[in-house]
Chain A
Amino acid sequence: MIVDMQPEFIVGEYKETTQHFFNGCSRKVFYTEIETPYPDGKLIVSTTSPEGIINHVNKAFVEMSGYTEEELLGAPHNILRHPDMPAVAFKDLWDTILRGEKWQGIVKNLRKDGGYYWVKATVIPNVRAGKVVGYTSVRRKPSRTKVEACIQLYPTLF
């Protein structure tokens, strides 16, 4: 279940908004302009159920998200959804992986402390015995040029 963010965990001056998801759920989020740089040489890895519920995270995921592993396991993956990310990007993600294809894009993720980090994300369906049993998402350090292009593009997609 996705829960509202808590102001006491936010570091720095923040804005507030309510996000509405495709499944009818909504969430109050607090976000700042503080960027955490993506660490060199690391990969952030997670897997989810077919419904997008997190069932595995690696250490880099925990470190960059600011949540504990216990808080992440069982939570929906949109716990990382940043309000600056246009919903159309995630619609494209789901449309693509539901066709059984690989999706790739530059994503701004929201941290527990209200800050953010940019990633180059790749999501693939995990097929076992012909059936999709979940999805693996791998994030790596994006090129700054591509991030700057997304900073210009994403506000136009709302």
Chain B
Amino acid sequence: MSYLFTVSPDFAPDRLSGWYIFNTWLQKNTFEAIHLELFNNYNKLHDAIGAGKVDLIYANPFDTASLVRNYGFLPLVKPEGLSDEALIAIRADSDTTDVTELIPGTRIALTNDPDVKMIGMMMLEPSDLDAGSIETIPSENYVLVAKHLLRSEAEAGIFLAEAYDNLSALIKNQLKVLVRSQISVIHHALMIGPNFQHKREEILALLTTMHECEKGMGVLNSLGFKGWQKIEDEEMEFMIDLMDTLNTDIL
């Protein structure tokens, strides 16, 4: 029997091979057969979770509440020093200098990353904008969000901050950031499902020490992480509570 590992569909495309390398490392070190399956969208991911097929998941903060409270998942680790932050950017040549200058009917390009969308919408609240007063321009990825801005198909874009920072200088030079979140406590988490939890302590020990050897460090580099950091159960509960408070009436 093999266990199923998956990654939230919002992973950076250039880290695709990194997740396969990580899965290979995990199999070698746990002596377990683990199959990595990447779902194209959240609907397919949620169907698989609902059917009890997922045993290990690098989850988006938005999904963690349901994973813990409805499906009995437990937290393992989070990437050290990384948190999910969002920003709102506009064309560099725009006259707008403050997010509060955005008006109802503003066209906003965004992806379907739920937590990034939530943080972005939160940053639009001071402008009295909400889901009902903006026109959203759905985009497959953050490069396309930038393109919508550059082609003036949208007046503002909501970006994962890390994705914006990784855009080419050529694109970034034509954009400017209106507001960037500094939340620090919302992050992705590697979580383990009920059928695999007998291995929780063993996997936890492997992950939290993998940066100590050259091979483990190489695997982490391929994911863009410095190391894995243990998540205490209460820390995960706190993040879920925080997501609950933020998710009141934004989306």
Chain A contacts to B: CB under 8 angstroms: 38-43, 45, 47, 58-60, 102, 104, 120, 122-124, 126, 128, 136-138, 140-146
Contact = CB atoms under 8 A, between A and B. Distances in A.
Interface of B: 87, 99-100, 122-123, 125-128, 179-185, 237-238, 241-242, 244-246, 248-249
B126 A138 contact: no
Nearest to A126: B241
A124 B249 CA distance: 14
B181 A41 contact: yes
A42 B244 CA distance: 17
Contacts of B128: 143, 145-146
Contact of A102 (B99, B125, B126, B245): B245
Q: Which of B181, B237, B241, B246 is packed against the most chain A CB atoms within 10 Å? A: B241
Given A138-B246, A141-B125, A144-B100, A42 B183 contact: yes
28 contacts: A40-B123, A40-B126, A40-B179, A41-B182, A42-B182, A45-B185, A45-B242, A59-B184, A60-B182, A102-B244, A102-B248, A104-B248, A123-B245, A124-B241, A124-B244, A124-B245, A126-B241, A128-B237, A136-B241, A136-B242, A137-B245, A138-B242, A140-B125, A141-B123, A141-B125, A143-B128, A144-B126, A146-B128
Contacts, number: 68
B241 A40 contact: no
A102 B247 CA distance: 11
Nearest to B186: A43
A126 B237 contact: yes
Nearest to B233: A128
B162 to A, nearest CB: 15
Contacts of A38: 126
B245 A136 contact: yes
B238 A40 contact: no
A122 B126 contact: no
Given A120-B125, A136-B242, A41 B179 contact: yes
A47 B242 CA distance: 10
Given A40-B99, A41-B181, A138 B245 contact: yes
A139 to B, nearest CB: 10
Nearest to B86: A41
Given A58-B184, A59-B184, 14 more contacts: A39-B182, A40-B99, A40-B179, A40-B180, A41-B182, A41-B183, A42-B182, A45-B185, A124-B245, A136-B242, A140-B122, A140-B125, A141-B126, A142-B126
Given A45-B185, A136-B238, A122 B123 contact: no
Nearest to B180: A41
Nearest to A138: B245
Contacts of B184: 58-59
A72 to B, nearest CB: 17
Contacts of A45: 185, 242
A123 B237 CA distance: 15
Given A40-B179, A41-B180, A136-B238, A122 B125 contact: no
